[in-house]
Structure 1
Amino acid sequence: MEEIHKAIQAMEAQKTEEAIDILQNYLPQADEEERFTITELYIQWGMLEEAKMILQELMQRYPKETELKVMMAEIHIDLNEDEEAIGILNDFTPEDEGYLEALLQLADLYQSQGLFEVAEQKLLTAKQLEPNEAIIDFALGELAFSNGEYNKCIPFYENAMHHQPVIADIEVATRLAEAYAANGEFEQALEYFQQVQEDNPEVMFRYGFVAYQAQRNDIAIKIWEKLIDEDPYYQSVYPLLSAAYDAEGMPKEALEMAKKGLSKDEYNKELYHLAGSLSHKAGDKETGYKYMREAVALDPGYKKAVLFLIENYKSDGDYEAIIELINQLLSLGEEDPNLYFELAKAYEEEEEYEQALVHYQTAYPSLKEDDAFLKSYGYFLIEEGRMTEGRKVLEEYLAIDPSDTEIIEFVHRLRD
């Protein structure tokens, strides 16, 4: 063992090549116990192929030694040689010492290959052997949860939590909270989130989000405020916390939180949208428009912000602003036919009828089954003296909405 200790000391001194040379030179004369120790060191140092070669030799000498088989299977798994690992693990029999561990590893491998039923069968076999083993219930819960079977996973998680609250550094309460939340049982989910001990930012975010979904904004605000205090750069929380403040009738806090979020993430279109909407609601229209235009500048296809600007410019009677906005979006490659429709109506309001006609005509092929568009377009054509075209468009409108008596009478008068 003296040479092995030298190798360990060399590795601890970060003399990697020297450590490896010592073991490789000593290996031919090492006894079986020393070979096993060298194998463990190779695995620890990431030299899996070298470890595999020694293990193969040891397994030939001791074919019934289950510890060697488990080590070899783990090496195959680490090398992404799943089929080889499955072959070894399937050789285990109920009489073998490592049978339970082999079943668990097989279940994990089959699950990774998408063979969920086979994986479940291995775990259920393991559960028959050890009905109260928390890790088996937890694995069954994880398998069901990954398949979206939330009702099915909950009893397994509950059994696991009863015997062992923390498994593989995971608090089982967080899994139960997520499972109940995914099932739409938010109050039950909140109860389990309250039992979680660790201050994990991701768990805190999900806790707040479930509370927000359950319309418990008071809980969401409390949890998210704590999260931001601990991790000011957890950017996903700012728009949601701002929205939670707004839902609780706290518009000043909502706007401040949106601004605070923008100071951490200046490219967040949702925060610009929120800041714009909240500023506008507070009576500061110009600032609201400024924020909203920033959102559109970041993403010209961001429909919420575009629609906000168009509808509010309409309320202000500022059709020039609509024309400027939409022409800018079209120049950037946005091809939504509704933009042409809105542009046509804006030009119509500005009495630029030739431009209005061009954009109505552009929108028509895509919106010829949209009743609001056809009605507006038909009236426009009639007012422009294009009687035949206008009547045809209004007849297309009536094919969609035959109950509009006003248009029916209007079309009859046109025919007469």
Structure 2
Amino acid sequence: MSYSEELLDSIQKQDFSKEKILLKKALDEDEPEILASLAENLTGLGFTDIAKEVYRSLIARFPKEDLFKIYLAEILLNDGKDDDGLSLLYAIPEDSSAYLDSLLVQADYYQTNGLLETAYSKLLKAAKVAPEEDVVKFGLAELDYLSGRYEQALDLYQDLLKRHKNFSEINLNDRLFQTLAKLGRYEEASEVIEKHASELLDIDSKYQAALVMLAVNKDDQAIKYLDEVIDQSPDYVNAYRLLASAYEHKNDNDQVLRSAQAGIAYNELDASLYAIGAKAAVKLNEFDTAEELLKKGLKFLPENVDLRLQLSDLYLKENKHQENLELFSKIPDNELEPQAHWNMALSYEALEQTEKAKSEFLLVYPEFQDNTAFLRQMILFFNAEPNSTTIVQELLNRYLKLEPEDTEMQDLANNLLD
């Protein structure tokens, strides 16, 4: 048994009493091939400090063997000693057999640190050294994808798929369909997904597959992938929103509501879940449930305008006019959105507080003067008010330009002229 083997054996047995002695003997007496294997094993076990000593010894004995410098540089970079690691890598000349490996390690380092264009430049140099090297093509494809150069990424992934199904633990068909989706080629992306469905094991890939399937109106397949996502990770909160949307496409309001409620249990700050859940509840005539959802949403998201307006619309539908007015009572008038004033006008009208209703209608008229639903309601309100003929005529003129086929309003306009 070599001293290197004895050292590894003692480390694996957690006996460190002879570590320094065995290391010195190994460095002094073991063959270079054994020492190289020792350093590799030590790195794999996490004993990088000892591995660095071995590599430094090998570099001292074989200064032209640049591969040892690359292995040492990788350890130094992982240890946060960036300057030392990069110095070793940059010192490797272009005519070295290890130059390609040096460029790949540099590219990986810069990509890891978010310097994508620098990493890309290293890979372009690597492509000139080894234009047919798949590891270089894969690195370029990944950086093209991350940088939004999807056409270039697509060509590279398609080329790699001629020889590989996976690369560096990455499923290339996964990358292919996501790249196609980024390019808006959803039908092609869905075909890749369907052909390689059994390969979609990664939870994020299944979520992305569901997005694609929704885009091509294959709702049942989208639901299948989303159910798998939720089964694997119930707290994958974005899946619930997408699942609710898929069921909404199918007009399955019961499942929309269930999906939204399940998602809210994991994320009480997702406004879209409250909105879509309440909308489904209204369609199911479950007004209490809709109201409960919207109130809960506003409890956690009190500044959310859309939820507040949705609750206001629900109050109008339920003829809960006092509750509707109270909903906006603590908000300064100049902070209220136009739709809120419109809704308040309807509640004041229903409560026979006509002056306040008139004020609200007139306040938001400039905002909704081309909205036929608003104009119609305003016409009916003012037509019931005394001394309002002039304003009703003006409103009718504007309304009938937009809706000339409304016979009821046309008759009203004719009656005013008589």
Q: Same fold (TM over 0.5)?
A: yes
State the match for 1:242 in structure 2: 244
Greater mean alpha carbon deviation, residues 193-202 or residues 339-348? 339-348
State the match for 2:68 in structure 1: 68
Asked if 1 retains the 8 angstrom alpha-carbon contact of 2:324 and 2:347, the reply is no
State the match for 2:119 in structure 1: 119
Change (3 A) 1:355 1:6: farther
Within the alignment, does 1:167 sit opposite 2:187 as a pair?
no
TM-score by length of 2: 0.74
Change (3 A) 1:311 1:3: same
Asked if 2 retains the 8 angstrom alpha-carbon contact of 1:107 and 1:120, the reply is yes
Once residues 260 and 94 of structure 2 are traced to their aligned partners in structure 1, the CA distance between those partners, rounded to angstroms, is 60
* AA of the residue aligned to 2:106: L
Deviation at 1:246, TM superposition (A): 1.8
Q: CA RMSD in A?
A: 4.4
Once residues 92 and 263 of structure 2 are traced to their aligned partners in structure 1, the CA distance between those partners, rounded to angstroms, is 56
Change (3 A) 1:162 1:80: farther
Once residues 228 and 50 of structure 2 are traced to their aligned partners in structure 1, the CA distance between those partners, rounded to angstroms, is 49
Once residues 67 and 321 of structure 2 are traced to their aligned partners in structure 1, the CA distance between those partners, rounded to angstroms, is 79
Once residues 114 and 243 of structure 2 are traced to their aligned partners in structure 1, the CA distance between those partners, rounded to angstroms, is 38
* AA of the residue aligned to 2:302: P
State the match for 2:27 in structure 1: 31
* AA of the residue aligned to 1:62: F
Change (3 A) 1:35 1:281: same
Once residues 200 and 163 of structure 1 are traced to their aligned partners in structure 2, the CA distance between those partners, rounded to angstroms, is 22
Deviation at 1:243, TM superposition (A): 1.8
Once residues 261 and 106 of structure 1 are traced to their aligned partners in structure 2, the CA distance between those partners, rounded to angstroms, is 43
Change (3 A) 1:231 1:37: closer
TM-superposition CA deviations, 1:27-70 (whole Å, max 9, x none): 33433546555544543343434433443343233210122111
Once residues 319 and 186 of structure 1 are traced to their aligned partners in structure 2, the CA distance between those partners, rounded to angstroms, is 46
TM-superposition CA deviations, 1:68-109 (whole Å, max 9, x none): 111112112212333433332233344423222222222223
Once residues 134 and 352 of structure 1 are traced to their aligned partners in structure 2, the CA distance between those partners, rounded to angstroms, is 76
- Gaps of at least 5 residues in structure 2 are 376-396, 401-418
* AA of the residue aligned to 1:155: D
State the match for 1:379 in structure 2: none
State the match for 2:285 in structure 1: 283
Change (3 A) 1:239 1:120: closer
Deviation at 1:247, TM superposition (A): 1.0
Once residues 157 and 23 of structure 2 are traced to their aligned partners in structure 1, the CA distance between those partners, rounded to angstroms, is 47
* AA of the residue aligned to 1:257: S
Asked if 1 retains the 8 angstrom alpha-carbon contact of 2:269 and 2:301, the reply is no
State the match for 1:383 in structure 2: none
Within the alignment, does 1:141 sit opposite 2:137 as a pair?
no
Deviation at 1:276, TM superposition (A): 1.5
Asked if 2 retains the 8 angstrom alpha-carbon contact of 1:23 and 1:38, the reply is no
* AA of the residue aligned to 1:88: L
Tell me the matched-pair count: 382
* AA of the residue aligned to 1:31: L
State the match for 2:316 in structure 1: 314
Change (3 A) 1:345 1:128: same
Greater mean alpha carbon deviation, residues 46-55 or residues 137-146? 46-55
